[in-house]
A and B are shown apart, each in its own frame.
Chain A
Amino acid sequence: MIFGRRLKNSINLFSVVSVIAGMLIIVPMLNILVELFSPASDTWRHIQTHLLRGYIVNTLLLIGFVAVFSASIGLFTAYVVTRFDFKGRRLLSWLLILPLAVPSYIAAYTYADMLSYTGTFSRALRAIGLRHGINIMTLPGAVFIFVMTLYPYVYMMVKSALEKQSASFTENARLLGASKFRSFFTIVLPLLRPALVAGTLLVVLETLNDYGVVAYFNVRVFSFAIFDAWERLGDISAAIRLSAVLMVIVFAIIFLERFLRGKRRYTLHVKNRPILRKPLVGLNRYLLPGSLWLIMLFAFFIPLFQLFYYARLTYRHVLDISFIYLVINSLTLAITATFLTILIALMIANFNRGRQSAFKRGLLKVTNLGYAIPGAVIAIAVIVFFIDIDHALYPLYRLFNPDTGRLVLTTSFAMLTFAFVLRFMAIGYNSIEAAYDKVGEKFTEAAYSLNHSKVSTLIRVDLPLIKSGLISAAIIVFIDIIKELPLTLILRPTNYDTLASRVFRYAREEMLQESAVPSLFLIAISTLLIYILTHQKKKGVRIHVRKS
Chain B
Amino acid sequence: MYVKVENLDFKYTSDEEVLYDITFTMNEGEVVAILGSSGSGKSTLLRLLSGLEIPNQGSIVIDEKTLCSAEHFVECERRSVGMVFQDYALFPHMTVAKNIAFGLKGITKEAKSNRVDEMLKLVNMEEKKHVYPHELSGGQQQRIALARALAPSPSILLLDEPFSNLDADLKLKIRQELRLIMKTTQMTAIFVTHDYDDAAEIADRIVYLENGHIVHEEVPKKH
Task: Name A's B-contacting residues (CB within 8 A).
Answer: 166, 168-169, 171-179, 186-187, 190-191, 193, 263-271
Contact = CB atoms under 8 A, between A and B. Distances in A.
28 contacts: A168-B85, A168-B87, A169-B89, A169-B91, A171-B89, A172-B85, A173-B102, A174-B76, A174-B77, A175-B51, A175-B52, A175-B81, A175-B83, A177-B80, A177-B103, A178-B103, A179-B77, A191-B93, A193-B93, A263-B135, A264-B92, A265-B93, A265-B133, A267-B92, A268-B89, A268-B133, A270-B85, A271-B86
A264 B131 CA distance: 9
A268 B148 CA distance: 17
Contacts of A172: 83, 85, 89, 91
A177 B92 contact: no
B119 to A, nearest CB: 13
B132 A176 contact: no
Contact of B89 (A166, A177, A179, A264): A166
A267 B75 CA distance: 27
B134 interface: yes
Nearest to B90: A268
Nearest to A264: B93
Contacts of A263: 132, 135
Nearest to A273: B87
Contact of A191 (B75, B80, B85, B92): B92
Contacts of B50: 175
B152 interface: yes
Interface in B56-91: 75-83, 85-91
Interface of B: 50-52, 75-83, 85-93, 102-103, 105, 132-135, 148-149, 152
A176 B89 CA distance: 12
B148 to A, nearest CB: 7
B176 to A, nearest CB: 25
A173 B93 CA distance: 13
A254 B148 CA distance: 34
A171 B52 contact: yes
A264 B133 CA distance: 9
A175 B76 contact: yes
B207 to A, nearest CB: 22
A179 B87 CA distance: 22
Nearest to A194: B93
A174 B50 CA distance: 10
A271 B86 CA distance: 8
Contact of B92 (A178, A186, A268): A268
Going nearest first, the 6 A-B pairs with the smallest beta carbon separation are: A176-B103, A168-B89, A268-B92, A270-B87, A265-B134, A271-B87
Contacts of A169: 89, 91
A266 B50 CA distance: 26
Contacts of A271: 86-87
B190 to A, nearest CB: 14
Given A171-B52, A175-B81, A177-B105, A269 B87 contact: yes
B152 A176 contact: yes
Given A175-B83, A177-B77, A177-B103, A270 B88 contact: yes
Contacts of A176: 77, 102-103, 148-149, 152
Given A174-B77, A268-B133, A270-B87, A190 B152 contact: no
A168 B84 CA distance: 10
Given A176-B149, A265-B134, 12 more contacts: A169-B91, A171-B52, A171-B76, A172-B85, A177-B80, A178-B77, A186-B102, A191-B91, A191-B92, A264-B92, A268-B89, A270-B85
A190 B132 CA distance: 14
Contacts of B103: 176-178
A178 B82 CA distance: 13
Nearest to B106: A177
B43 to A, nearest CB: 11
A95 B146 CA distance: 44
Most buried by A among B79, B90, B91: B91
B193 to A, nearest CB: 16
Contacts of B132: 263-265
Most buried by B among A169, A176, A193, A270: A176
A269 B137 CA distance: 12
A137 to B, nearest CB: 42
Contacts of B102: 173, 176, 178, 186
B87 to A, nearest CB: 4
Contacts of A269: 87
Nearest to A178: B77
B150 to A, nearest CB: 11
Nearest to B132: A263
Contacts of B88: 270
Nearest to B98: A186
Contacts of A264: 92-93, 132
Contacts of A168: 85, 87, 89
A176 B157 CA distance: 12
Nearest to A186: B102
A222 B85 CA distance: 51
Given A172-B83, A270-B89, A177 B152 contact: yes
A187 B91 contact: yes
Nearest to A262: B132
